[in-house]
Amino acid sequence: MLKRTLVAALSFLVLGIAQAQPYPSRPITMIVPFPPGGIADLTGRPFAAAMSRLLGQSVVVENRAGAGGAVGHAQAARAAPDGYTVMMALSSIVAIPVSDEVNGRQPTYRMSDFTPIALVSADPTVLMAPSGAKWKSLKDLVDDAKANPGKISYSSSGLYGTTHTAAEMFAQAAGIQLLHVPYKGGGPAMQAALANEVMFTIQSPGVANPHVRSGKFRLLTSWGGKRIATLPEVPTLKELGYDAEFYIWCALFTPAGLPQDIANRLRTVSRQVVQEADFRQAMAGMNTPIDYREGAEFQSFLEADGSRLAKVIRKIGKTQ
């Protein structure tokens, strides 16, 4: 009897010590729901490296690609809300549950399954055409699309993903039909354009930058509310007469139900990360401006962007 009591007391003591360990006490997994080479991966890796230094624990990036990000989103939603699984997601996270509903599917996750930690960046997408393409301006592309409806192809990061939604927003505003060719992320979509599998692509400025500098591609327009500071020669869709504005944003999420003290710790660390010289240099090297938001400001941003994207997706309608 005494032995059992001692064992029980010892177990309770060990459990108490484990629960009292400061967060984090072991490595953290960062899910990136896209393949390497896209903006989520290019942002997530330097962010994870800075987190590791600040937290004193490894932050390991795992690429979980598929279904325009839905596979990784769903995996993160199902993870334990203990702070040891975080996710660097793109704006497609708010669009995919709407697309599931439009297609009569049970959503694999809902936004209520996540705790928003912080917005890291919000970059307007850009339209990239090969330098050898016959289009010298966006008007040339629109005129060609009107003459050849449904025949001008473009690559995207996946059905209802960030770049698919951006392209359809433009197509709806311009009154044209384009041929959508979905891939499993921004990296593969860029590779498809480089291999001439499609006629143009839509990317973040960070992904586009090296290919424009090499002379392989030219930029015809951006989806920003104003011209991108580092690309002053690229006109926006709005100034060209098309009512379309879209941003590929990156943000850190965790599963819902995260204890408040851990959420606060992650927000504190995120604020520190975006001030880190190495992270700022990595973002500057991609021409991707940091746009840090958290709390009520981030929640308002999510709701406004989700509403705008939902309208576009419902107009796209069922695709499968």
3-state DSSP assignment of residue 187? helix
Question: Tokens 């009154």 appear where?
Answer: 175
Name the strands in the sheet holding 126-130, side by side, starting at the edge strand that comes first in the sequence: 179-182, 153-156, 200-203, 126-130, 217-222
Is residue 68 a contact partner of residue 241, using CB atoms and an 8 Å limit? no
| Domains delineated in the chain | 28-122+248-316 (3.40.190.150), 126-222 (3.40.190.10)
pLDDT confidence of residue 308: 85
Q: How far apart are CA 81 and CA 122, in angstroms?
A: 26
What pLDDT shows up at residue 185?
A: 82
- Dihedral pair phi/psi, residue 81, rounded to 5°: -85, 65
* Cα–Cα distance measured from residue 103 to residue 98, given in angstroms and rounded to the nearest whole number: 9
The closest alpha carbon to 240, from 141, 139, 129, 140, belongs to: 139
Contact criterion met (CB below 8 Å) for 156 and 223? no
DSSP code of 236? B
Residue 317 has a pLDDT of 85
Whether this model's pTM surpasses 0.75: yes
* Model pLDDT, residue 269: 98
- What pLDDT does 258 receive? 98
CB 200 within 8 A of CB 129: yes
SS3 178: coil
Q: Is 30 helix (H, G, I), strand (E, B) or coil?
A: strand
pLDDT < 70 regions, the chain: 1-20, 320
Burial class (CB in 10 A: 0-12, 13-18, 19+), 276: middle
The reported pLDDT for the residue numbered 16 is: 46
**265 contacts 118 by C-beta, under 8 angstroms:** no
Identity at 268, one-letter amino acid code: T
Residue 207, pLDDT score: 85
pLDDT at 20: 61
